[in-house]
Amino acid sequence: MNTKYNYSLLKHNTFGINVAADTFFEYSSVEELSDFITTLRHTSEEQKPILHIGEGSNLLFLDNFNGVILHSQIKNIQRISERKNVIVLRVGSGLKWDDFVAYCTLNGFCGIENLSGIPGEVGASAVQNIGAYGVEAADTILRVEVVDLETGKKRLISKKDCQYGYRNSIFKNEYKGRYAVTYVHYKLSKKFVPNLSYKALKTVVDVKYERRQLTPTDIRKEVIHLRDEKLPDPNVLGNAGSFFMNPVVGKQQLEQFQKEYKHVPFYEIDEERVKIPAAWLIEQCGWKGKILGTVGVYSKQPLVLVNCGGATGRDVADLAAAVSQSVHEKFGIDLHPEVNFIAS
């Protein structure tokens, strides 16, 4: 258990925004968190906002946080049940996500290798429903353990009740700010079936591995390589990865859109809806590689907004608003941020 005051959050957000929190509390067990919440409710800080964070890879702090920041140090992995072809793991929310993926790949537990290289911690996978290269965290999540930030009581929430959707969950909506994720249960396969639904990954695999059988390690290696090619290292250039979600439109809207933009890329979701890459829309508006003072749009991937040095959260937010406005004016499509804006 570790409590700090007027604590810098510079190392706790990948945008590299230099802000501070009134109180910062790290816990190593569910009991520590529950006790802290119970005690907090009987102090002068009771009315202050509470925010639970992971690695800060999907946050944009607009100001100093005049409240309490919680951070998990629960990093253990437990084998809950195991059968011939399936295993269920209970994983601490404070474990780095990619360390968990590496563990699974090494042990032959399959289903999340396409999510290799994603920054952040395990808890965020359950909140954000992280996804990449044709796979989402919700594909393998079985249930989520949480602590109520009002009462300190524990609760177990089923996958169905998490209401997962594209980069979305109940934790970003009805339950936003109400619960802290402490453990996530994943149901993984011990039989490897590669997911090559993402075109760029399939192209690489077809060329490199044509004559031999794929392994989860192969997929992990190629996914990390693809990510490294187009995404900046946040230790070098502050960023939160993909800033915007890919907009979802109906097929009738797409057909109208194609009359003016014949070569627009898209990915089918179902019989009625498609996703249009936000990166393509942003690039068509001339934003790729553009720098405005301390912030900019990454030259290799226009979906990524970057801190070029010394930027504030509001600098980034202003850039995001400008990008969104230009996309709306040109295409009539609204972009929605994947990143969470945090203001006290």
pLDDT of residue 46: 66
Q: Which residue has the tokens 């997911």?
A: 195
| Helical spans, DSSP H, in the chain | 30-40, 97-107, 122-128, 159-162, 199-208, 216-230, 251-260, 278-284, 313-331
Give me the percent of the chain exceeding a pLDDT of 70: 99
Distance CA 342, CA 51 (A): 9
- pLDDT range class, residue 344, cuts 50, 70, 90: confident
pLDDT of residue 210: 75
Poorest-confidence range of 117-121, 238-242, 269-273, 332-336?
A: 269-273
- pLDDT range class, residue 1, cuts 50, 70, 90: low
The answer to whether 243 and 337 have CB atoms below 8 angstroms apart is yes
- How far is residue 47 from each of residues 16, 22, 40, 43, 84, measured CA to CA in Å? 28, 13, 9, 9, 50
pLDDT of residue 213: 86
- Cβ neighbours of 78 (radius 10 Å): 11
For the segment 162-176, the average pLDDT, to the nearest whole number, is 95
pLDDT of residue 269: 87
- pLDDT range class, residue 43, cuts 50, 70, 90: confident
- pLDDT range class, residue 41, cuts 50, 70, 90: confident
Angle, CA 175 vertex, CA 173 and CA 181 arms, to 5°: 120
- 113 tagged catalytic: no
Q: What is the pLDDT of residues 180-191, one digit of tens each?
A: 999 999 999 999
- 338 tagged catalytic: yes
Nearest-10 crossing angle of helices 199-208, 216-230? 120
- How far is residue 140 from each of residues 103, 109, 143, 186, 314, measured CA to CA in Å? 15, 11, 9, 5, 36
- 229 tagged catalytic: no
Q: Inform me whether the pLDDT recorded for 212 exceeds 80.
A: no
57, 93, 116, 242: the catalytic one is 242
167, 169, 220, 222: the catalytic one is 167
Walk me through the domains of the chain, giving residue ranges and CATH numbers.
238-342 (3.90.78.10)
Q: What is the pLDDT of residues 89-146, one digit of tens each?
A: 999 999 999 999 999 999 999 999 999 999 999 999 999 999 999 999 999 999 999 9
- How far is residue 303 from each of residues 50, 101, 130, 222, 339, measured CA to CA in Å? 30, 24, 16, 21, 12
113, 136, 222, 338: the catalytic one is 338
